[in-house]
């Protein structure tokens, strides 16, 4: 009841006025939404048409068959729906049933037409008439419901004692041909005598077209001969069908013979006959013969129409003879022959692909817009924009692009945006290219992502992406490129442009994300992009992220510059991340970079100072192995001066074990520090190594050390030291001499 109360104000301004029965049934059985097809939309005015008078106000009661049609279209077919139809019309008359069937067929719902027909005669007591089947069978055939149409003709009609008529059979035969099933068309045609249906030119024409659709010209000849033998006179449609079919098979001799036989049998060719022969010659690629037929039409009193011109224009364009096509197009205008969508569709490809014809092409586009004609081939706009960009007419390309969006039912090809962006960038108009990109992202995203949509060329999107990244709009460039990525685009140049753009704009996190995507997809990176990313993190004072970016750069096989290594090490060192700086130093040396040794020494000193002795000694050994000998004398003296005696002793032992060139005075300085710190055993160990290497030591110092060992209970070590000194006693003390390298 709620629905009925909502619908009442639409039926009458007086709430107490009686509601018509038809409307009451519709209100009680349908939803409140109005179907899209039930809403009238204004049509585009056509050329030469006059304004129609305003329609009269609609009647309060629409015809019952329209109400029923609305009901069955809006709701699923159920018993409740059938009861609603019965309530609306207890008895179904032939005009009512025919009206519903016609309405359903007009809207392309042949299934509803068949379902309503079955309901009408099975449950509502309707008895079909011959006109019912004559109406329903062509509707089913046109929607490729061939089995249903065949059952109606051969089973249902006889059950009502109604003989099938030739028109319905011809419609089904033609439908079999359009569906590519000529064998069924021939079977049905041969069945006609058994059904008591005489065959006339109507059925012969239908079966001829059905078999010629599949190129069976030999069978068509036999059926044509049988037609003559049966005494059935061919008509104009018969000959037109034969000429069309033979032309389709490129059997031009047969087509011309049929054309001559036509005149011999007293059948006058009409304009369709000539157009069909014209099209056959054009299809065969013989434009000279086609032109003869075209010129012959005037002599035979046949007025050439738009189809005649369209066929010839299309043929000339396909053969690359655009001048002749333009001449015929001009002749059409002079003679007042109607220009149609097919006219422009035939001419535009020739104009769009020729740089010398772009002016005519632009004029043709203006003519189409003025006449509100939408070309069937939507690619003409793309091709024209491409030609204009190639010719350097960027303003003209932009104008054609904007005008293409004004045509009805024209979805702009994404490649058109790409060609336009590429041309504008090359032509020094990158800002206009960005405007085109904005339009693409606003209106063409769905087209861009469609599986059937072609992928833009790299030359189309890379220039505008690079421009955006170089001018502070990297986020817009990334949004656009991510749409392309969904189509499987993995473009190295675009990725690197985005990394550089984010890095320059101080958004290294976004650049790092792009880099991660590249790594996952196996896309090769550029060293410049990595370097900019590292530098961006350094500028934000994020040394840890800078080191991670530097490591990623090396993992990708790129060698950072010495300056980049130094920048990362300095930033880490100043931030107190000495060990991280040490790891960068290790990578640098392993990569063969021997610069920045001043920074390397600072890192080594800091490692020793912080007690990371093993790591520091490992770095020293690495430097030596890679030809970067550190200044060990300076380091040992510095450690002693900073009271890092044990670290100095370990470094000295390391140098002694590997026979590094260290001054004796430096060792003496270390020994002195050990004496001062009362590190007797380490001093004893170091002194023994010096003597074993043939080094010269101070006797007084050694005597003092032996006394210390004895006082601390290390008499055995003192005796060993005494024997070593006696065995290796030098003739002269040479304080300051360097320790010998050979044992």
Average pLDDT over residues 78-82: 90
Q: Which of 658, 660, 655, 649 is nearest to 684 (CA)?
A: 649
Neighbour-count burial of 408, counting CB atoms closer than 10 A to its CB (0-12 exposed, 13-18 middle, 19+ buried): exposed
Question: Is residue 201's pLDDT more than 60?
Answer: yes
pLDDT at residue 737, rounded to an integer: 39
Residue 741 maps to a domain: yes
Q: Give the residue with greater pLDDT, 657 vs 226.
A: 226
Evaluate whether residue 715 is within a structural domain. Answer: yes
Side-chain half-sphere CA neighbours of 733 within 13 A = 9
Nearest-Å Rg of the Cα atoms of the chain is: 48
User: Residue 391 pLDDT > 60, yes or no?
Assistant: yes
- pLDDT score for 572: 94
Question: Do the domain assignments include residue 703?
Answer: yes
Q: How far is CA 41 from CA 32, 36, 37, 48, 316, in A?
A: 20, 10, 9, 21, 40
Per-residue confidence (pLDDT) for residue 596, from 0 to 100? 87
Q: Are 326 and 347 in contact (CB under 8 A)?
A: yes
244 burial type by CB count under 10 A (0-12 exposed, 13-18 middle, 19+ buried) = buried
Nearest to residue 307, comparing CAs of 288, 330, 332, 326? 332
Residue among 649, 688, 691, 680 nearest 666 (CA): 649
C-beta separation of 22 from 64 below 8 A: yes
- Rounded to whole angstroms, the Cα distance separating 168 from 203 reads 10
The dihedral sign for the CA sequence 264, 266, 270, 273: negative
In a domain, 370, yes or no: no
Percent with pLDDT over 70 in the chain:
83
Q: Which of 309, 307, 305, 256 is nearest to 280 (CA)?
A: 256
Q: How many CB atoms lie within 10 A of CB 64?
A: 22
Checking 583-589 for CB contacts under 8 A at 24+ apart, the result is: 583/547, 584/547, 584/550, 585/619, 586/619, 586/622, 587/550, 587/551, 587/554, 588/560, 588/562, 589/622, 589/623, 589/626, 589/628
CA pair distance 673, 667, nearest whole angstrom: 10
| pLDDT score of 44 | 37
Query: How far is Cα 721 from Cα 513, in angstroms, rounded to an integer?
Result: 65
Number of domain units in the chain:
1
Q: Taking 80 as the threshold, does the pLDDT of residue 626 lie above it?
A: yes
Is 477 within a domain?
Answer: no
Give the orientation angle of helix 543-555 with respect to helix 527-539, to 10 degrees. 170
Extract the tokens encoding 104: 């359903």
Burial class (CB in 10 A: 0-12, 13-18, 19+), 267: middle
**What does the alpha-carbon distance between residue 165 and residue 168 come to, in Å, rounded to a whole number?**
6
Distance CA 48, CA 339 (A): 12
- Grade residue 739 by pLDDT with cuts at 50, 70 and 90: very low
How many residues appear in the chain? 743
User: Average pLDDT for residues 281-310, to the nearest whole number?
Assistant: 92
Span of 576-585, 621-630, 686-695 with lowest mean pLDDT: 686-695
Q: How confident is the model at residue 10 (pLDDT cuts 50, 70, 90)?
A: very low
User: What digits encode the pLDDT tens for the residues 276-285?
Assistant: 999 999 999 9
Q: What is the DSSP string of 249-294?
A: TT-HHHHHHHHHHHHHTTPPP-HHHHHHHHHHHHHHT-HHHHHHHH
Is 368 a residue whose pLDDT tops 70?
yes
- For residue 124, what is the DSSP state? S
**Block residue for tokens 């790409």:** 418
Neighbouring C-alpha atoms within 13 Å toward the C-beta of 349: 18
3-state secondary structure of 3: helix
Alpha-carbon torsion (164, 168, 172, 174), positive or negative: positive
Three-class secondary structure assignment of 625-642: HCCCCCCHHHHHHHHHHC
CA 106-107-108 angle, to 5 degrees, is 95
What is the reported pLDDT for 50?
34
Residue 549 near residue 519, CB atoms below 8 Å: no
Report the pLDDT value the prediction gives residue 282, as an integer from 0 to 100.
93
How high is the pLDDT of residue 741? 29
Give the pLDDT score at 725: 62
Mean pLDDT, all residues of the chain: 82
Q: What is the mean pLDDT of residues 56-79?
A: 78
Q: In Å, how far are 25, 276, 419, 470, 494 from 457, measured between CA atoms?
A: 59, 41, 9, 21, 12
In a domain, 43, yes or no: no
Q: How far apart are the C-alpha atoms of 701 and 172, rounded to whole Å?
A: 124
19-53 tens-digit pLDDT:
333 333 333 333 323 333 333 333 333 333 333 34
Yes or no: say if 410 and 368 are a contact pair by the CB < 8 Å rule: no
Phi, psi at 400, each rounded to 5° = -65, -40
Cβ contact 287:316 at 8 Å: yes
Summarize the confidence of residues 530-552 as an average pLDDT. Answer: 92
Task: Answer left, alpha or beta for residue 592, where phi above 0 means left and psi between -120 and 50 means alpha.
Answer: left
How many CA atoms does the CB half-sphere of 379 hold within 13 Å? 8
Beta-carbon contacts of 172 under 8 Å, excluding residues fewer than 6 positions away, are 137, 141, 146, 149, 150, 153, 188
Given a cut of 80, whether residue 692 has pLDDT beyond it is no
| pLDDT over 50 at 228, yes or no | yes
pTM above 0.75, yes or no: no
Could you give the CA distance from residue 320 to residue 354 in angstroms, rounded to a whole number? 10
pLDDT score recorded for residue 35 = 35
pLDDT at 693: 65
Confidence of residue 316 (pLDDT cuts 50, 70, 90): very high
Q: Which domain holds residue 664?
A: 658-743
Query: Would 37 be classed as within a structural domain?
Result: no
Q: The tokens of 629 are what?
A: 């000998």
In a domain? residue 723: yes
Per mean pLDDT, which range of 292-306, 489-503, 627-641 is the poorest? Answer: 627-641
Rounded distance, CA 419 to CA 379, Å?
Answer: 13
């Amino acid at each position: 009841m709620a629905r009925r109360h909502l619908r009442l104000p639409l039926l009458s301004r007086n709430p107490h006025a009686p509601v018509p029965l038809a409307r009451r049934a519709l209100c009680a059985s349908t939803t409140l939404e109005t179907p899209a097809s039930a809403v009238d939309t204004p049509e585009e005015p056509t050329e030469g048409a006059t304004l129609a008078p305003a329609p009269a106000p609609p009647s309060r009661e629409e015809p019952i068959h329209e109400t029923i049609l609305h009901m069955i279209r809006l709701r699923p077919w159920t018993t409740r729906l059938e009861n609603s139809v019965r309530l609306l019309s207890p008895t179904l008359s032939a005009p009512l049933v025919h009206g519903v069937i016609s309405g359903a067929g007009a809207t392309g719902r042949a299934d509803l037409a068949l379902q309503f027909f079955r309901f009408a005669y099975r449950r509502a007591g309707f008895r079909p008439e011959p006109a019912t089947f004559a109406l329903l069978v062509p509707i089913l055939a046109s929607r490729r419901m061939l089995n249903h149409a065949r059952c109606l003709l051969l089973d249902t009609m006889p059950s009502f004692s109604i003989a099938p008529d030739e028109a319905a059979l011809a419609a089904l035969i033609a439908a079999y041909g359009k569906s590519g099933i000529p064998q069924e068309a021939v079977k049905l045609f041969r069945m006609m005598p058994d059904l008591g249906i005489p065959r006339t030119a109507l059925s012969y024409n239908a079966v001829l077209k059905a078999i010629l659709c599949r190129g069976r010209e030999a069978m068509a000849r036999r059926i044509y001969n049988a037609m003559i033998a049966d005494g059935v006179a061919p008509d104009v449609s018969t000959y037109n069908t034969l000429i069309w079919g033979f032309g389709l098979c490129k059997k031009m001799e047969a087509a011309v013979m049929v054309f001559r036989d036509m005149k011999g049998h007293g059948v006058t060719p009409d304009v369709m006959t000539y157009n069909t022969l014209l099209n056959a010659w054009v299809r065969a690629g013989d434009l000279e013969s086609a032109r003869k037929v075209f010129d012959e039409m005037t002599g035979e009193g046949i007025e050439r129409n738009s189809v005649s011109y369209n066929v010839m224009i299309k043929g000339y364009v396909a053969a690359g003879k655009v001048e002749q096509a333009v001449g015929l197009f001009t002749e059409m205008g002079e003679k007042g022959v109607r220009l149609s969508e097919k006219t422009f569709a035939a001419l535009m490809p020739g104009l769009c692909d020729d740089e010398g014809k772009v002016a005519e092409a632009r004029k043709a586009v203006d003519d189409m817009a003025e006449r509100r004609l939408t070309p069937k081939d939507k690619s003409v706009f793309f091709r024209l924009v491409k030609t204009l960009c190639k010719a350097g007419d960027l303003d003209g390309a932009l104008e054609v692009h904007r005008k293409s969006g004004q045509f009805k039912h024209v979805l702009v090809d994404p490649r058109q945006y790409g060609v336009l962006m590429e041309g504008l960038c090359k032509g020094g108009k990158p800002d206009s290219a960005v405007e085109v990109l904005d339009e693409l992202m606003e209106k063409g995203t769905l087209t861009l992502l469609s599986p059937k949509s072609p992928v833009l060329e790299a030359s189309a999107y890379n220039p505008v992406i690079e421009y955006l990244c170089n001018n502070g709009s990297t986020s817009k460039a990334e949004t656009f490129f991510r749409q392309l990525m969904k189509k499987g685009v993995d473009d190295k140049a675009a990725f690197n442009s985005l990394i550089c753009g984010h890095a320059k704009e101080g958004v290294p996190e976004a650049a790092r994300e792009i880099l991660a995507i590249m790594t996952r997809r196996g896309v090769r990176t550029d060293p410049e992009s990595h370097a900019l990313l590292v530098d961006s993190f350094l500028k934000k004072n994020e040394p840890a992220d800078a080191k991670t970016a530097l490591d990623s750069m090396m993992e990708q096989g790129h060698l950072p510059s010495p300056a980049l290594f130094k920048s990362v090490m300095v930033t880490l060192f100043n931030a107190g991340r000495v060990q991280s700086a040490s790891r960068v130093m290790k990578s640098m040396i392993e990569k063969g970079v021997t610069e920045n040794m001043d920074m390397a020494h600072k890192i080594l000193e800091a490692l020793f100072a912080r007690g990371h002795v093993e790591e520091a000694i490992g770095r020293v050994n690495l430097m030596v192995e890679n030809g970067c000998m550190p200044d060990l004398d300076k380091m040992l003296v510095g450690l002693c001066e900073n009271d890092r005696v044990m670290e100095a002793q370990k470094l000295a032992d390391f140098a002694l074990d590997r026979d590094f060139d260290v001054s004796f005075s430096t060792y003496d300085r270390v020994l002195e520090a050990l004496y001062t710190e009362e590190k007797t055993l380490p001093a004893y160990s170091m002194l023994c190594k010096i003597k074993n290497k043939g080094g010269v030591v101070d006797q007084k110092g050694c005597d003092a050390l032996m006394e210390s060992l004895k006082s601390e209970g290390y008499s055995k070590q003192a005796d060993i030291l005494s024997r070593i000194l006696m065995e290796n006693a030098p003739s002269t003390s040479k304080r300051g001499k360097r320790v010998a390298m050979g044992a």
